[in-house]
Amino acid sequence: MKLLLRRGLAMKIKAIVFDMDDTLYDEKDYVQSGLTVLDNWVKFKFKVNGFYETAMTLFEAGERESLFNKTFELLKIRADKKTMNEMLNRYRAHIPQIKLFDDVNWVLSNLTKEIKVGLLSDGHIEQQANKVRALRIRGRFHSIILSDRFGRQNWKPSSVPYEHMCMALEVSHYDCLYIGSNVSKDFITAKRLGWKTVHIDRGNNNFPHTIEDKEYAAHYKINNLQKLSHISEFKHLFIKKAEFVYS
């Protein structure tokens, strides 16, 4: 009963929390950056050309889980498990050539000073930390939580990272807005905890996720983050309304 009463009070959002991959930047850029590093390594180690082109062709065709293995098969490269693990570690450890989407820069630059800003992201911790470093965003967020620090079992949709984010920002669940791109895990727990949610879908489908169950869907779905300033319950987050928003 207390939860129902509190939700009925039309509380204003006090904190905006972002996912990272395909939300703050284009993950395809990360893949291209990593494959470029591996292409140089493969040329040196195996004296074989074409790793980047072959891997990107597979990626564009939808291959994800076995990208490295299938690339090696097509290039007729034999590699043991140790070599494949070395390649994966090199991919994760590289500092990527990535940048923020323009609409992300607009949002971060136009939030009112009262609004707290967080980043909550899954993934291998070294890999995600390198993305944060490459994007140069640490000074633009009040809290950055990489859920891998709590163990793989506490990646989204675990409630653990959401709980820690609220503690770090010193806000309640009902004060928070979560923005992400992965409908399979980003919104279901946030909604159950009382967060508002927004699905940013730019149509790039780098790592497509399709869930039919409505409980996984966000409260709102937009294709440009500037449109947040046009949603009535989020207008107070911004010092101005976006004058031009891409369709």
DSSP characters for 41-108?
Answer: HHHHHH----HHHHHHHHHHTT--TTHHHHHHHHTT----HHHHHHHHHHHHHS-----B-HHHHHHH
For residues 238 and 228, the answer to whether their CB atoms sit within 8 Å is yes
Mean pLDDT to the nearest integer, 213-235? 95
**Could you read off the pLDDT of 172-197 as tens digits, one per residue?**
999 999 999 999 999 999 999 999 99
pLDDT of residue 3: 38
Inter-residue contact 134 to 100 (CB < 8 Å): no
pLDDT for residue 204: 76
- Average pLDDT on 195-212 reads 79
Q: Of 82-86, 123-127, 213-217, where does mean pLDDT reach its minimum?
A: 213-217
Total-model pTM: 0.91
* 124: pLDDT strictly greater than 50: yes
The answer to whether the bond into 157 is cis (omega within 30° of 0) is yes
Predicted confidence (pLDDT) at residue 4 exceeds the cutoff of 50: no
